Every structure is written in structure tokens, then in C-alpha cells.
């Protein structure tokens, strides 16, 4: 008699099933509603196809649309395959490569036939229509195990040179799988997939754009076309996403940066920012704010060199692990007499610093440090350079030159938890001052790392304990642990901010590092008179000023709080008879510490209102003959329909209160 399989369900019950049965059979046995709703299954924790037979006794959790993370991953993976099939149906001879799911959709890299130009935006409507036809056909998605040679033969016979190249590199001892869409199209894929194309909602996806891509990400290889799409479980989710994209486009910091005259970028300094006076006013306000917070928390500010010898970077470990992202400089004067020997092969190398930590260790090492001196908190508004790939650069969000609100705390083992707890409270104050909600994540040890397991055990637990003591290791703060996502030298706490339209930004971090003090021989004299290694806590709150300003611009849609606004008020005249009064008002506002401009141009007031609204000036103080006679101003506040007439003194008091940074307000 054949022994039945024991399938354990999340509610603790056990179903006995015939060998060869699948999660779909279990769902059908429970009821027709679940059979219809089940999209896939987690079998012993592994996400699998709903129709894939069990291998043995198993723990089973059925996946439905309520399991949104898994369901979206499956749907987006399927949309990518349907996209590739559609393109090949429409243009036979198209070569396919790979197409993964992404955070909000999917893409697929394809090579157009030689008989036509690369694919463009004009092709997307036809591709979408063919995708809908494939979905409506409800084609079963069937998994098969193939040998490597079968894959090679298949791709070579179909003229799929990219797939054949990849197949030749696959290990023979690994289970290699393909997925059929019906009986006429397949792709090699690990899966899993939905049961059929009809499980996708034909109204829940949209192709968004095309871009150039290189085979295997190498610009020396063939150029491909990457077709991007967004995919969801239903049309309502798609529409909500498209609305978010529209709102994000309105808030794009690059667009608002131009309208508000904050900064610009250009090829002559690609990856670096040209700050205009208005933009640099925001920077200076943030810098002053952060200095006050750091001074109040016992940090001592330092300034370290931009360029350091490569031997320092070798000792710290960055030269071996990070050199391709560093800007390096030969430490030798070029020989201009012989153009064939502009740089000597024997030149010593220097590098622009990509981070501040090794330099801070060198400051710490000056003189003899006693345990009584600890903790030592060294802060720096440190300018760093990283050779980011050209295609990765994005406005203020990803640059090559940036300035961090960086600091390093050198402390004893027994001080770590308290220092991290205090930092948690400091970060909380800062983010609340800017109106952000946030979540805290703990990024744990990666597979490739430096340091002993014992050190990692201790460092990870210290961070857990500190967040718990700060009262933040709970659901209210989105507490979560992220296996494998720590730095190679230390675990880290991450602060993920949520902006006004629901996007998250990873900004602040603190890391407990025992590796760098060892590599750079940092020591202090303990109570026993012996040398000991300090623990080094790397920490930042803004992260980089550039990126944080970009986040603020988008979060507030350019309507920055008055204390941050580069121009806090404009005094605008209706008639030239009010010019003298306007100048007097500006002088009084400036004397009160308000950043104010005047607009005395011979233009209609509605034109002035539109122009200053576009520049996101918080308050427009309109004055005419009556206001000049009565000593009043008509206040038009950005975003409000109505204006109100108040005395100039009242306006000054109002602006002075709103212009005060939150950390300097009483009460």
C-alpha cells in the first residue's frame, strides 16, 4: 500500500495526500473558494508553483492575493515573461535575454531583429495589446526540468545567442528548469510562476518606457533594449500607483530646483552640484541646525584632508574592497617633456576620500587616550567623493561629490549600548523636527565579512539592546531585522523615512565597528594600565546634505517650512506710490532676521503672485496706497486662497515665529 504524504497546514492541522499531489490539490480538498484564490504555495518555506508536486512530507502555506508581497512578486515575474512572448510574437527574430520583477513592476531586455530599428516608445501600445491577448488566452504555465545540453541545443537552434551563451555557463549538477507558456513558447527560469497567464489582470499593468542596456551590464557587449513596465494585482492598485507617479513628477526635486532657482547640474562637473544662492541658503540652515544638535549632544567638530595616501586606504581595507569607486591621483609631477611618459609606473598613489572614518581614526590616535576620556564623539561636515557609474547618477539623490553630517564615537565596550541609545533619541528629535515618520531596521551580518562570529554576535546584540532601551524595538517604529544586509565590517541600524506620498528613503545609520580600530591600531589606556581597542560607532542622520535636501524638496513639494525657505517673504507693490513704504517694510523685516526680497516692478499684482508662488515663497506681503497710509500689509500665504490684512508689526511677529528653527522654539 502506498504511504500517504503528511501535509502540515498553518492552523496545525495535517492533511494526508496521495504521492504526486500538489498544493493545488490541497486547496481543492479544503474548498472551491480557496482553490480559486490560491496563486502559489510556500512549501517548507520555499515559494513554489501551485501545481508543483510535493517531494515529501511538507509544511504548506497557500499564497493568495492577501499575501501581497509574494503575490506581487509572482505577478510581476509573469508579466515579464508575457512581455517577452508578446515581443517575439509581434517581431519574429527578436532575441530575448532576461527580465526580472522590480519593486514596482518588471522589465525585459531584448534585441530587435536586424531588419528593424531598436524598439521605441511607439511600439509599446502594440506590445501591450498582444500581452492582453496572451493573458486572455489563459495559457498554462508549465515547469519542466532540462539538462544543460538541452538548453544549449534549444537556444542555438532558435538563434538565441544570448541565451545559449548563458546556458553554456550553467552548472551541470544544478536543477535547470524551463517554463512553457502553453505549448508554443518557453523561457528558462527558476520560477516560480502562477498557474496560467489568465491569473494576471489584463488591466493591471502598463508599459512605461524603453531604455538602452548592455548584455550582462558590460558596455563592451551588444546593446539591447530594456522595456520597463509596472504590474499590479488589480486595476485599482495600478491606478493608485500611476497617481503616485504623477504626484512624484510634480514633486521632482530637479524640476522644483529649477523653478525655485536652487541649483543646477551640468556636464562640466558631472555628478556634482552647482548651488545657487537660494539653494545654499537651505544648506546653511540645515548645517547650522545640525551643528546645534551635535554641539548639544557632546560632539566635537573636526576637519580632515580630502586626499590621503593609498597606503592609508590599503591599511583600512578600502583600497582592496572599494578602489573601483575611488578617485585616485598619482603622487608625482607628470613629465611634460616626454609625452610618452606622462605618468610614471612607479608613482605613489593618493585618493580622494570616499568616506571620513579612516581620517577620524587618525585624529583619535593623536596623543594618548585614557578610558577616562571616553566616549569621544568626533563630527565632521565631511566632503567625500565616490566614482559612481554615470548611469546611476540622479539629481541630488545620487552624486559623486557629497557632504555628510558624519560622526564617529570612540567608546569602551561597556559604553556602546548607551551611546547607541542616545543616538536613537537624537535621530528621533531630528526627524520629528522635519515632520517625518520613520521605521528602524537592523541590517545583520553579510556572508562576506571581516571579524569573528563572536564579535558579530556581540555587535548585533548591542544594537538590539540599545533600540530596546530607547523604547523603539516595536511595531510602532516598524522594527525589523534584515539578514545579510549589514556592511562587511559591521551590523547597522537604518532609519527609513516615509515622505508625504508614501515613499521610503533610507537615511540615517549607526554601525558598531570593531574591525577598523583593529586594522588602524586605535587604542586607549584602560583602568588596568594596558592598551585596549575602542569600539567605533559610525553614525549619520541626514546621510548626505545633497540627498537630504532633495528628499525635503520632494516631501514638501517645494513648500518648505518657513524656517528653511530660502526666501521667507516678498514685499510686492501694487502701485509705484507704495515703493517707499515697501522699502521701509523690507528694512524692518531684515532687521528682525527675516530673509526677505522686494518686488517693485511695474507689473500687475496677479503676475507677481503667480511668479512668487512658482518660486514657492511662503508669504507674499502685498502693499498699495492704502497699506502705506495705514501701516499694514495684505498677506497672501502660499497654498491659501484668501488674503488677510494685518499691521506690519503683526506680520513681523508672525514671520519671526515661523522663521525660528524648531530646536530653538520655546515650549
SS3 content of the chain, % helix, strand, coil (to 5): 40, 25, 35
Q: At what angle do helices 545-555 and 235-251 cross, to 10 degrees?
A: 120
pLDDT tens for 540-595 read 999 999 999 999 999 999 999 999 999 999 999 999 999 999 999 999 999 999 99
At residue 339, does pLDDT exceed 60? no
Report the pLDDT value the prediction gives residue 341, as an integer from 0 to 100.
44
The answer to whether 560 and 616 are in contact (CB under 8 A) is yes
HEC letters along 606-665: HHHHHHHHHCCCCEEEEECHHHHHHCEEEEEECCCCCCEEEEHHHHHHHHHHHHCCHHHC
Q: Specify the 3-state DSSP secondary structure of 323.
A: helix
Phi-psi region of 554 (alpha: psi -120 to 50; beta: other; left: phi over 0): alpha
- How many of the other CB atoms lie within 10 Å of CB of 34? 14
- What letter would DSSP give residue 88? H
Burial class (CB in 10 A: 0-12, 13-18, 19+), 177: middle
The CA distance from 52 to 148, in Å, is 21
CB distance 533 to 522 below 8 Å: yes
Class of CATH domain 69-247 = alpha beta
Pull the grid cell for residue 612: 512668487
User: By percentage, how much of the chain surpasses pLDDT 90?
Assistant: 85
SS3 letters across 124-164: HHHHHHHHHHHHHCCCEEEEEEECHHHHHHHHHHCCCHHHH
Helices (H) and strands (E) in the chain, counts: 20, 32
DSSP state of 221: S
CATH code of 569-662, in short, is 3.40.50.800
**Residue in this structure with the C-alpha cell 560632539, named with its chain if needed:** 299
Q: Is residue 6 predicted with pLDDT exceeding 90?
A: yes
- Which cell numbers in the block locate residue 497? 523615512
> What predicted TM-score, i.e. pTM, was given to this entire model?
0.82
Count how many residues are written for the chain.
Answer: 667
* 450 has pLDDT over 70: yes
Find out whether 505 and 442 touch, Cβ atoms under 8 Å.
no
CA distances (Å), origin 1, targets 22, 117, 307: 20, 63, 77
DSSP, collapsed to helix, strand or coil, labels residue 516 as helix
The whole-angstrom separation of Cα 250 and Cα 247 is: 5
In the chain, the N- to C-terminal Cα span, in Å, equals 80
How many CA atoms within 13 Å lie on the side-chain side of 159? 9
Mean pLDDT estimate for the chain: 93
Kindly list the distances between the CA atom of residue 295 and the CA atoms of 85, 115, 270, 286, 289, in Å, as whole numbers in the listed order.
60, 67, 34, 14, 10
In tens, the pLDDT along 71-107 reads 999 999 999 999 999 999 999 999 999 999 998 999 9
What does the alpha-carbon distance between residue 277 and residue 316 come to, in Å, rounded to a whole number? 38
Predicted confidence (pLDDT) per residue in 401-447, tens digit: 999 999 999 999 999 999 999 999 999 999 999 999 999 999 999 98
| C-alpha to C-alpha distance for 480 and 474, rounded to whole angstroms | 9
Of 175-189, 345-359, 502-516, the range with the lowest mean pLDDT is 345-359
pLDDT given at position 172: 81
Helices 277-296 & 545-555 angle (0-180, nearest 10): 110
Pairing of strands 141-146, 105-111: unpaired
**How many C-beta atoms surround the C-beta of residue 174 within 10 A?**
9
Spell out the domain ranges in the chain.
Answer: 5-64, 69-247, 267-304+353-554, 569-662
Helix (H, G, I), strand (E, B) or coil at 406: strand
Q: Which residues are catalytic?
A: 357, 386, 404, 406, 408, 492, 538
Task: Band the pLDDT of 343: cuts 50, 70, 90.
Answer: very low
Q: How many CB atoms lie within 10 A of CB 6?
A: 14
CATH level 3 topology of 5-64: Ubiquitin-like (UB roll) (3.10.20)
- pLDDT tens-digit profile of 648-659? 999 999 999 999
Top-tier CATH class for 267-304+353-554: alpha beta
pLDDT digits (tens, 9 = 90+) for 257-284: 999 999 999 989 989 999 999 999 999 9
Residue 311, pLDDT score: 86
Q: Which of 329, 325, 328 is nearest to 388 (CA)?
A: 325
**495 contacts 509 by C-beta, under 8 angstroms:** yes
* 19 contacts 66 by C-beta, under 8 angstroms: no
- Please give the torsion angle defined by the CA atoms of residues 7, 13, 15 and 21, in that order, rounded to the nearest 10 degrees: -40
* Packing angle of the helix pair 277-296, 416-433 (nearest 10 deg): 140
Q: Which residues contact 287 (CB under 8 A, 6 or more apart)?
A: 381, 545
**Residue 303 scores a pLDDT above 50:** yes
What is the rounded CA–CA span in Å between residue 431 and residue 365? 33
Q: Is the pLDDT of residue 344 over 70?
A: no
- Burial of residue 122, with CB atoms counted within 10 A of its CB: 0-12 exposed, 13-18 middle, 19 or more buried: exposed
- Pick from 643, 594, 604: nearest CA to 620: 643
pLDDT at res. 310: 87
Amino acid at each position: 500500500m502506498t504511504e500517504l504524504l503528511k501535509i502540515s497546514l498553518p492552523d496545525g492541522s495535517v492533511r494526508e495526500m496521495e504521492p504526486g499531489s500538489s498544493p493545488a490539490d490541497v486547496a481543492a480538498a479544503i474548498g472551491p473558494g480557496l482553490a480559486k484564490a490560491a496563486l502559489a504555495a510556500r512549501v517548507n518555506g520555499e515559494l513554489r508553483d501551485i501545481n508543483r508536486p510535493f517531494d515529501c512530507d511538507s509544511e504548506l502555506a497557500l499564497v493568495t492575493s492577501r499575501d501581497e508581497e509574494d503575490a506581487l512578486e509572482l505577478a510581476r515575474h509573469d508579466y515579464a515573461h508575457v512581455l517577452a512572448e508578446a515581443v517575439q510574437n509581434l517581431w519574429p527574430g527578436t532575441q530575448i535575454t532576461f527580465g526580472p520583477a522590480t519593486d514596482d513592476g518588471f522589465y525585459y531586455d531584448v534585441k530587435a531583429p536586424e531588419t528593424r530599428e531598436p524598439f521605441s516608445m511607439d511600439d509599446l501600445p502594440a506590445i501591450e495589446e498582444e500581452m492582453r491577448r496572451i493573458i486572455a488566452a489563459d495559457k498554462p504555465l508549465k515547469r519542466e526540468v532540462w539538462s544543460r545540453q538541452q538548453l544549449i541545443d534549444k537556444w542555438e537552434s532558435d538563434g538565441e545567442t544570448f541565451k545559449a551563451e548563458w546556458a553554456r555557463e550553467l552548472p551541470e549538477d544544478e536543477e535547470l528548469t524551463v517554463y512553457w507558456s502553453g505549448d508554443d513558447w518557453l523561457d528558462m527560469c527558476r520560477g516560480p510562476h502562477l498557474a496560467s497567464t489568465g491569473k494576471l489582470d489584463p488591466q493591471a499593468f502598463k508599459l512605461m518606457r524603453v531604455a538602452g542596456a548592455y548584455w550582462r551590464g558590460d558596455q563592451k557587449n551588444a546593446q539591447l533594449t530594456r522595456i520597463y513596465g509596472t504590474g499590479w494585482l488589480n486595476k485599482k492598485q495600478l491606478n493608485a500607483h500611476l497617481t503616485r507617479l504623477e504626484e512624484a513628477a510634480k514633486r521632482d526635486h530637479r524640476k522644483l530646483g529649477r523653478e525655485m532657482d536652487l541649483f543646477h547640474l551640468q556636464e562640466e562637473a558631472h555628478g556634482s552640484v552647482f548651488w545657487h544662492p537660494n539653494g545654499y541658503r537651505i544648506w546653511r540652515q540645515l548645517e547650522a541646525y545640525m551643528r546645534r544638535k551635535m554641539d548639544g549632544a557632546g560632539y566635537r567638530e573636526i576637519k580632515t584632508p580630502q586626499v590621503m595616501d593609498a597606503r592609508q586606504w590599503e591599511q583600512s581595507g578600502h583600497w582592496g574592497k572599494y578602489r573601483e569607486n575611488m578617485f585616485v591621483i598619482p603622487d608625482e609631477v607628470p613629465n611634460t617633456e616626454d609625452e610618452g611618459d606622462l605618468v610614471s609606473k612607479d608613482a605613489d598613489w593618493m585618493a580622494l576620500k570616499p568616506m571620513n572614518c579612516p581620517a577620524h581614526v587618525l585624529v583619535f590616535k593623536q596623543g594618548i587616550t585614557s578610558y577616562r576620556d571616553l566616549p569621544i564623539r568626533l563630527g565632521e561636515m565631511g566632503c567625500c567623493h565616490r566614482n559612481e557609474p554615470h548611469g546611476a547618477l540622479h539629481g541630488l539623490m545620487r552624486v559623486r561629490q557629497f557632504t555628510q553630517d558624519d560622526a564617529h564615537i570612540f567608546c569602551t565596550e561597556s559604553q556602546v549600548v548607551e551611546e547607541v541609545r542616545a543616538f536613537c533619541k537624537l535621530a528621533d528629535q531630528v526627524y520629528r523636527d522635519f515632520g517625518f515618520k520613520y521605521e528602524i531596521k537592523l541590517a545583520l551580518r553579510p556572508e562576506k565579512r571581516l571579524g569573528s562570529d563572536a564579535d558579530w554576535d556581540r555587535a548585533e546584540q548591542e544594537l538590539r539592546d540599545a533600540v530596546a532601551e530607547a523604547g523603539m524595538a516595536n511595531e510602532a517604529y516598524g522594527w525589523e531585522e534584515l539578514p545579510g544586509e549589514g556592511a562587511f565590517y559591521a551590523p547597522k541600524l537604518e532609519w527609513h523615512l516615509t515622505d508625504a506620498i508614501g515613499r521610503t528613503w533610507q537615511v540615517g545609520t549607526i554601525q558598531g565597528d570593531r574591525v577598523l580600530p583593529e586594522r588602524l591600531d586605535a587604542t586607549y589606556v584602560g583602568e588596568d594600565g594596558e592598551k585596549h581597542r575602542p569600539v567605533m560607532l559610525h553614525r549619520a542622520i541626514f546621510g548626505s546634505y545633497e540627498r537630504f535636501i532633495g528628499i525635503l524638496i520632494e516631501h514638501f513639494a517645494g513648500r518648505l517650512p518657513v524656517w528653511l525657505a530660502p526666501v521667507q517673504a516678498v514685499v510686492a507693490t501694487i502701485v509705484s506710490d507704495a515703493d517707499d513704504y515697501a522699502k521701509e517694510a523690507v528694512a524692518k523685516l531684515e532687521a528682525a532676521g527675516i530673509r526677505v526680497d522686494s518686488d517693485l516692478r511695474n507689473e500687475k499684482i496677479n503676475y507677481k503672485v503667480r511668479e512668487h508662488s512658482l518660486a514657492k515663497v511662503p508669504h507674499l506681503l502685498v502693499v498699495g496706497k492704502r497699506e502705506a497710509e495705514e501701516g499694514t500689509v495684505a498677506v497672501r500665504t502660499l497654498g491659501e486662497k484668501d488674503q488677510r490684512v494685518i499691521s506690519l508689526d503683526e506680520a513681523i511677529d508672525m514671520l519671526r515665529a515661523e522663521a525660528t528653527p524648531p530646536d530653538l522654539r520655546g515650549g
